[in-house]
Every structure is written in C-alpha cells, then in structure tokens.
C-alpha cells in the first residue's frame, strides 16, 4: 500500500484548491475588481469558467483515485478518525461535483467558457432552476466549512501530531 499521493494527484489537489478558492471569492470581489479594472463585467464569466474547469479536474481526480486506491496514512489512528477523514473527503468530492453542476443547471443564459466557447443553457423549467440556484447558494456554506475544517486538520497533523499526513500531499523534497 502506498504511503503518499502520486505526483499527478498532488498537482491536481493543489491546482483544484487554488481554483476553488478563486471561484469562491470571485462573486464577493466584484466591487474590488471593478475598481481595479474599471468594470466587473467578466467576473461571473470567469467564475463559471473556473467552476466548470473544477468539475473536469474533479472527474479526472476521481478516475485516478479509483485506479491508484488511497494511500494508507491513518492506520494507527482510531477508527472514528479514519471514518471522519474519509467522510470529509467524500463530502468535498461531492460538493466539487455538485457546485458546478448546480451552477450549470440554474443559468438561463449560455456560459461563455473563458470567452471562447458557449455552453448551455440547459432546457429546464423555472422550478428546477430555482431548486438548483437554492442548492448553489446554500451548499456554499457547507463547502466553506469543510475547506476550513479540512485545512485545519491538515495543519494539526503537521504541526501538532507531526505525522506524515500533510507531507503525503506535498511534492517530494529529495
């Protein structure tokens, strides 16, 4: 059983983390971006484009994970801790799929993917769009909380427990 994530998994984890943080923050930065660029017009085009990129990266990560299995990192920890870690990772993956999908579902206008390609809108009823929008706007709180808890646990392992959990998700130093 492996004791680390593969180089590709590590690259995709940190790239996704960066994109997720940008995607989450963009809707709240419209005023700042408008001040700097003179217009905040493209903020949601970028939000949607990054969101759909995250969806593709997450599908790729899940395929790689299914092929490689997960590294054995918490084998000496209590069962509930292993369970909590697995549940958090599963919930993060689920939200990384459902946030972009719900965003795609509720839009009434086509998404201009990186200003290059038009996607959608999907033919849905107004009720279905309203449910998807409600999900998008509510599940963001769960995503905020999970990311904070997840990062805090990684730092706890690294600085207090001093085990190899964070190192398993960092590039090799040798």
CB of 59 to ligand HEM, least distance (A): 13
Cis peptide bond N-terminal to 54, omega within 30: no
Closest approach of ligand HEM to the CB of residue 41, in Å: 14
- How large is the C-alpha radius of gyration of the chain? 18
Least CB distance to ligand HEM at residue 48 (A)? 4
Spatial distance between the Cα atoms of 56 and 93, rounded to a whole number of angstroms: 12
Q: Tell me the two tokens of residue 8.
A: 């590709």
**DSSP at 56:** H
Place of tokens 């909590």: 84
User: Which residue, 17 or 131, has its beta carbon nearer to ligand HEM?
Assistant: 17
68 close to 9: Cβ distance less than 8 angstroms = yes
36 or 155, CB closer to ligand HEM? Answer: 155
**Closest distance to ligand HEM from the beta carbon of 36 (Å):** 20
Task: Specify the residue for token string 């395929």.
Answer: 63
Closest to ligand HEM by CB, 27 vs 37, is 27
Q: Which DSSP category does 17 fall into?
A: H
Closer CB to ligand HEM, 47 or 171, in the complex: 47
- Rounded least distance, CB 143 to ligand HEM, Å: 6
Residues that bind ligand HEM (CB under 6 A): 13, 16-17, 20-21, 23-24, 27, 44, 47-48, 51-52, 54, 65, 70, 73, 85, 89, 92-93, 96, 99-100, 103-104, 107, 111, 133, 136-137, 140, 143, 147, 150-151, 154-155, 165-166, 168-169
């Amino acid at each position: 059983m492996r004791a680390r994530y593969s180089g590709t998994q590590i690259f995709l984890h940190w790239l996704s983390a960066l994109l997720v943080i940008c995607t989450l923050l963009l809707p709240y930065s419209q005023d700042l971006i408008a001040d700097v660029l003179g217009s905040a017009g493209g903020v949601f085009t970028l939000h949607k484009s990054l969101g759909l990129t995250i969806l593709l990266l997450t599908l790729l990560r899940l395929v790689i994970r299914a092929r490689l299995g997960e590294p054995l990192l918490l084998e000496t920890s209590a069962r509930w801790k292993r369970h909590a870690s697995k549940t958090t990772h599963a919930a993060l993956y689920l939200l990384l799929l459902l946030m972009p999908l719900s965003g795609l579902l509720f839009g009434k206008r086509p998404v201009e993917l990186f200003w290059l390609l038009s996607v959608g809108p999907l033919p849905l009823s107004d009720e279905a769009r309203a449910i998807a929008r409600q999900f998008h706007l509510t599940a963001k709180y769960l995503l905020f909380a999970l990311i904070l808890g997840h990062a805090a646990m990684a730092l706890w392992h690294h600085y207090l427990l001093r085990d190899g959990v964070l190192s398993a998700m960092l590039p090799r130093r040798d």
